Copies of this chain bind each other. A is one copy, B any other.
Amino acid sequence: MHCIKHLIHINANPETIYNALSTIDGLSSWWTSLTSGESRINKIIEFRFDEPYFMRMKVLELDENRKILWECIEGEKDWMGTLISFDIEGNGNNSILRFKHDKWPTHGDFFSHCNLSWAKYLISLRLYIESGKGAPFRLE
């Protein structure tokens, strides 16, 4: 099993970061504008990109202002059953976000592509939080 790990510093308090990660509005603002569903325990959030790409995540943990954990239950073959987590460590307005996408069955081109892509969207998350305007995926 392989794991994508990123760490990013964000000039914001944990509550602001948690809101961007735990609401449909927040997620739409930095990952994909085509986000729908419910961000509640055991409910499903759907993330769409260019047809036919999408993934459905089951919300496993929502620890307020601290941690979010999803399981991918539908989408790309290599993503099925993988776990995606966001851990927030706050110190006033200087927070650290630790991201993990764990339990990858492969470690090849698709893994490498997704590794870069997660970094790109985490930078978009920071931009959204710090400036109010992210760079989520949008249909042309």
Contacts from A to B (Cβ < 8 Å) = 4-8, 98-99, 107, 109, 111-113, 115-116, 118-120, 122-123
Contacts and interface: CB of A to CB of B under 8 A. Distances in A.
Nearest to A123: B120
Given A5-B107, A107-B5, A116 B119 contact: yes
Contact of A119 (B107, B109, B119): B119
Contacts of A123: 116, 119-120
Contact of A7 (B6, B8, B99, B112): B112
Nearest to A111: B5
28 contacts: A4-B115, A5-B107, A5-B111, A5-B112, A5-B115, A6-B112, A6-B115, A6-B116, A6-B119, A7-B109, A7-B112, A7-B113, A7-B115, A7-B116, A8-B116, A98-B109, A98-B112, A99-B112, A115-B115, A115-B119, A116-B119, A116-B122, A116-B123, A118-B119, A119-B119, A119-B120, A119-B123, A120-B123
A110 B25 CA distance: 31
A109 B7 CA distance: 7
A117 to B, nearest CB: 9
Nearest to A114: B7
